[in-house]
Amino acid sequence: MSVKVLLPALLLAALGSAFPAAAQDAHYWTYGYGPIGQLTEGTLVGGVEDVSATYYNPGALALIREPRFVFGLTSIELATITARNAAGQNLDFNSHVFDVIPAMVAGHVGHDGSRPDQFAFAFLSRHDTDWDIGYSNDEVSPDSPDASAGYGRVRERVVEYWFGGTWSHRIREGFSLGVSPFVAFRLQRSRRSLSLEDVADGASRAVFVGSENEYTHVRALAKLGAAWRPGRLKLGVTVTTPGLAVYGRGSTVFNASIVCDVAPSSLCPSTAVLAASINGQASLPLLSASSQDGLSATYRSPWSVAAGATWSGSRTAIHTTVEWFSAVEPYDILSPAPAPVAGSPATIPLTFRGAAKSVVDFGAGFERRLGAQLTLYGGAARNASPWRPESETLASWDLVDATAGVSLDRGRSRLALGVGYSWGSGQLPRVIVPPDATGQRPATEARFSRWTVSVAASLDGAPR
């Protein structure tokens, strides 16, 4: 695709709003915790039986007969995102990621599990993503008088860790309440760059746009839970609060340049196109740059309410959980000042926004004891994306997650191993083309898949 076609589109889409911010997390049910939670898609709000209760249901901790120390490790063997023509004709997005993530470390505090008050501590990895998506277009040929080239990269790094503990109180036999206060540490870095060049009909054009947004945020939140276990049924409900900001700082870097060796014409973007993209009037060539540090950063997370039930037989257990997440209205994560344009009163607005729609995730899992030591597990879940257009995230697709695995119980210890697969597809708004007449950006279909290998271990807190 000729760069002379991409230039006006770039000015509308890239200069007007930089690049997609990808500021909101893609999915809420990405990780499972503990030997059983990782193999049953985390459907344990009702029937959790180890100290992963610190996350799944803090109310259940006081009902667990043998609290354990838990260590979980999730190895993402291969995650892939592919979107044909996402940036324009023959400009494809594609990325492959390998990562190793410490999912959970949790332990029971104290040795007497018979007391009505029980305590535990936990470290959770809630998000750990590192996408590096590239696209390119190369039509340079010595046999043709026309030549064009294009290259771009989208890099997204998000980590979020929760540190906290749990207090659970058994009110009566089979019924308890609990709370897990957490401190959440979040770091996000978003980088976008695009370079386009074209030589055609005696005119040359060159465009470069780059932006980087980075912030660190700390918030406090709490998960409250209740557990009731009448007979073979195990029931639970939890509420997770939004975060209360403790600290937030960020920075923004932006650079844009446009050069055309002929006067504005059909070959080059007109000042009218520029005026539609930026505040004020500007002419070619154009140069804009801004570097801002020490900005106040805001991050907003949703309310969530979950309910779960587990039915336990002599050798089989069935787990189910459903969780609702509230919407997060559009807001500015960072509010940098507009970038100035050299030699002009015009400015380019810079934004970095977050938003999320309300979603419901649900799933089911099972366990089947095959012998005195070996147990088979499996699970499937709908992992919905909270994407909404205001946030301009990349992951607009819902996922289906499926996992299977086994655990080996050796008295005081349990070791679990599982394999999971996630897949989904959805419409990805193009990032370099202008909106159509209705103000909507054209979209292309994107496909996502991820293989995971999970390993987890637990250990009783005291000898039997």
Q: What angle do CA 193, 257, 347 make, to 5 degrees?
A: 100
* Other residues' Cβ atoms within 10 Å of the Cβ of residue 139: 15
Quick one: three-class SS letters along 340-362? EECCCCCEECCCEEEEECCEEEE
Paired with 237 in beta bridges are 226, 307
Residues 6+ apart with CB under 8 A from 142: none
Number of domains present in the structure of the chain: 1
Q: How many residues does the chain have?
A: 464
Let me know: does 139 contact 148? Beta carbons within 8 Å.
yes
Asked whether the beta carbons of 163 and 180 are under 8 A apart, the reply is no
Structural domain span for residue 50: 3-460
Q: Which residues pair with 360 in a beta bridge?
A: 324
CA distances to 210, 378, 379, 396 from 420, rounded to whole Å, are 37, 9, 9, 21
Closest by Cα among 238, 386, 402, 388 to 323: 238
Distance CA 375, CA 373 (A): 7
pLDDT, one tens digit for every residue, the chain (464 residues)? 444 444 444 443 444 333 444 434 568 998 888 889 989 999 999 999 989 999 999 999 999 876 677 777 666 667 777 777 665 555 566 666 667 766 888 888 876 667 899 999 999 999 887 777 766 665 555 655 566 677 777 788 889 999 999 999 999 999 999 999 999 999 999 888 877 777 766 667 777 888 899 999 999 999 999 999 998 999 999 999 999 999 999 999 999 888 776 554 444 544 334 444 555 555 667 888 999 999 999 999 999 999 999 999 989 999 999 999 999 999 999 999 999 988 888 888 888 888 999 999 999 999 999 988 999 999 999 999 998 877 756 677 899 999 999 999 887 788 899 999 999 987 776 554 444 445 555 667 778 888 888 888 887 654 33
Residues whose CB is less than 8 angstroms from the CB of residue 234 and which lie 6 or more positions away in sequence, other chains included = 46, 47, 227, 228, 309, 310, 311, 312
DSSP assignment letter at 65? S
Tokens representing 230 are 């009448």
> Is the torsion defined by CA of 303, 48, 182, 33 positive or negative?
negative
Structure tokens at 334: 């960072």
Measured on CA atoms in the order 65, 66, 68, 72, is the torsion positive or negative?
negative
Residue written as token pair 């354990």: 68
CATH of the domain at 256: 2.40.160.60
